[in-house]
Amino acid sequence: MSEHRIHGRAFLRGAIQDDTLITLRDGLITEVVQVSPRPANAAGTDGLIVPGFIDLHIHGGDGADFMDGDVDANARILAFHARNGTTALAATTLSGSQHDLKHAVAAITKTKRAAPRGAQICAIHLEGPYINLHRAGAQDRPSIRSADIQEIASLLEEAPPKFRWIITLAPEIAGAQALIEQYRSRILFSIGHTSADYSEAVAALGWGATHFTHLFNAMTGMHHREPGVVGAALVSTDATAELIADGIHVHPVVLRIATMTMPNRIALVTDAIRACGLPEGKYRLYDSEVTVVEGAARLNTGTLAGSVLTMARAVQNMVELAGLPVHTVIPLATEVPSRILGVSDRKGKLDAGYDGDVVVLSPKFAVERVFVAGEPIETDRGS
């Protein structure tokens, strides 16, 4: 494999350091040192060198969706998001029929084994179908059902035994407690699309849930007499939570509040759908039609239906809209999700021995360069 050397400002150990030389070889970061001036055999940048972004919650992009159940479509998603700075992700499904979910999971597994050029699949995230009908959002309502241990057992058989799984579910629905307690050592359970109150959410954390799906969206909010699911997330000491930082799903001030209240426990996600990267217009989201106008994807009822966000834009929004310093934001797209996915020993940091997943951001947060496993990926500049 080829060797690549990058020199410039880099995010290292929680801070931005100048004159950093990063060497990529044999798929890994082999050296991170401070060197001035720039060596002649190193590429320089006026931007910022950061670890590759990691997305826990991503449905699609570039016209494809993981629910399509198609290896070529999945490869297109991985290539698109890699071009925009995401080097690892959890392939995310929606509430669907048993047949369609199993077909999608099988295709994701085949895609991972084929290892197409692009972002690496680190997990499968089942967002539903075990959610609350009244908090379905853009999910397919006829597909929503009670938690089913046998269905999950069947889906688990489609992937290698050590594959990482996330399941978003509503703790108040029938069968939720039994499912969590049965598989909590193998599956990361996330509370979401739920009408649970505060006590029910706390109970679910006690059963073994450890995460919250797109915090504030499709869940009970915090009231001064009923803290709701949001309150349970904010006061938890260990649970992590996702934020969709597109400036539409969550107000920038609330993005800031959540990040400050839950230090080291917030992971930025895109919740991107097939329309991500494409012109405004009408697109399919499983069995529903979605219209994208002015950066927002909605059902014909006005309900938000995922996003057209990239992780680079999410990072930019957290800095420019929420007003957080870049050294606070970068871990939300790198270190925190790597820990949630159980890959923090090899992803999420710029350090010797880590995977060669590196992104160079321009001063205006455009993705200038991307490396996945030490190899360069063509970028969508300005995305």
Catalytic residue, from 55, 271, 355, 380: name it.
271
Among residues 115, 54, 51, which one has the least CA distance to residue 90? 54
Helix axes 198-207, 228-235, angle to 10 degrees: 50
CA distances from 128 to 73, 88, 135, 175, 224 (A): 21, 22, 11, 13, 29
Residue 120, token pair as written in the block = 């690496």
Q: In degrees, to the nearest 5, what angle opens at C-alpha 254 toward C-alphas 251 and 256?
A: 115
Total Cβ atoms within 10 A of residue 310: 27
What is the total residue count of the chain?
383
271 is catalytic: yes
Q: Which tokens belong to 60?
A: 């699609």
Distance of CA 289 to the CA centre of its chain: 23
DSSP element (H, E) containing 235: helix 228-235
- Annotated active-site positions, please? 271
